[in-house]
Chain A
Amino acid sequence: MENSPMDKYTAGFGMALAVTSVLNAIILVIKEENDAVMKALKAALGHHWTTHGVIVIVVFFVLGFIFSSMKLETKFDSHRILKYIIWGVIIGGAITAGFFLPNLNLAGAIKY
């Protein structure tokens, strides 16, 4: 069976998901490394995590609608969008997990 064209929102929001997954990790590194950014995030909505979450969600929807209007569905197929999503999640996840790795001191666990 010949594949039908990809839906524009599937392509647009898929790309937004991939980009926002990486952006989420970048925001994390910036706020943890920069006190001024951390204070600003805390001041905005009372807790840095709350503000971080709102930024991520808003960026996802804004990028989703922008990418959906860019006719990505004519350039990409579902496989490629899935590939971008998986890589976005892997890169975002690896940055997040890697950034906190120095905090992972398991000596206490081994003792017990």
Chain B
Amino acid sequence: MFVQGVMMLHVALGVIGIMFAVALFVDVLNVNEGNIERIKKLSLAVAVLIVLAYIIGGYWYVVYYGHDRDIIKAGQWPWAHNYFMEVKEHLFFIMLLLGIYLPIAVYRNVPLMEKEKRCLVLGICMLIVVLGFFMEGAGGIIGKGVTMGLIGR
């Protein structure tokens, strides 16, 4: 149960991080004096959520994933590990750096009244959302890879 809890926490933090990045994107599009504080808090929240998702997911991957990997590789969808997990685990580093950079781009450029500074923050949000969707999709495929491996037993 603990192992599943850790995994679900990793997924949940990632999903909430993506949703906050979308909220930040919308807030930056509509930036005004009234939402500057929320923009700052959201950028920090996205960073914290992604870092936590990285630490918790990394703990699960290093400590518990080996068993699942063996099931996937012996099953019908070995590429769920050989491709999707391999790509996911390495692309996550880029998402982590984007998450860490986001509050730097926000806090050092508020009140974001200039278009090109808003574009920088919007671009970072967009990259986080796109990579985040890939992470979630790849995670789903990896989970299905375990199911396919267990069906074949």
A: residues with CB less than 8 A from B are 1, 3-4, 7, 9-10, 13-14, 17, 20-21, 24-25, 28, 46-47, 49-50, 52-53, 56-57, 60, 77-79, 81-82, 85-86, 89, 92-93, 96-97, 100-101, 103-106, 108-109, 111-112
Q: Hey, which chain A residues are within 8 Å of B77, CB to CB?
A: 108-109
Asked whether B100 is an interface residue with its Cβ less than 8 Å from the other chain, the reply is: yes
Q: Hey, which chain A residues are within 8 Å of B108, CB to CB?
A: 7, 9-10
Least CB separation from A61: chain B residue: B100
Least Cβ–Cβ distance between B150 and chain A, in angstroms: 13
User: Contact: B119 with A82, CB < 8 Å?
Assistant: yes
Q: Mark B53-90, 1 if CB is under 8 A from A, else 0.
A: 01000100110000000000000111100110011011
User: Contact: A78 with B119, CB < 8 Å?
Assistant: yes
Q: Hey, which chain B residues are within 8 Å of A50, CB to CB?
A: 58, 62
Least CB separation from A83: chain B residue: B123
Q: Hey, which chain B residues are within 8 Å of A9, CB to CB?
A: 104, 108
Q: List 21 A-B contacts (CB under 8 A).
A: A3-B114, A4-B114, A10-B120, A14-B101, A17-B101, A24-B94, A25-B90, A49-B62, A50-B58, A52-B90, A56-B93, A56-B96, A56-B97, A78-B119, A82-B123, A86-B123, A86-B127, A89-B94, A97-B87, A105-B79, A109-B77
User: Contact: A103 with B83, CB < 8 Å?
Assistant: yes
Instruction: For the complex, give the distance between the alpha carbons of A111 and B75 in Å.
Output: 13
Which of A17, A93, A100 is the one whose CB lies under 8 Å from B97?
A17
User: Contact: A81 with B90, CB < 8 Å?
Assistant: no
User: Contact: B114 with A1, CB < 8 Å?
Assistant: yes
Instruction: For the complex, give the distance between the alpha carbons of A101 and B78 in Å.
Output: 13
Highest count of chain A CB atoms <10 Å: which of B93, B98, B119, B131: B93
Which of B90, B94, B101, B117 is the one whose CB lies under 8 Å from A13?
B101
Q: Hey, which chain B residues are within 8 Å of A53, CB to CB?
A: 54, 58, 93, 96
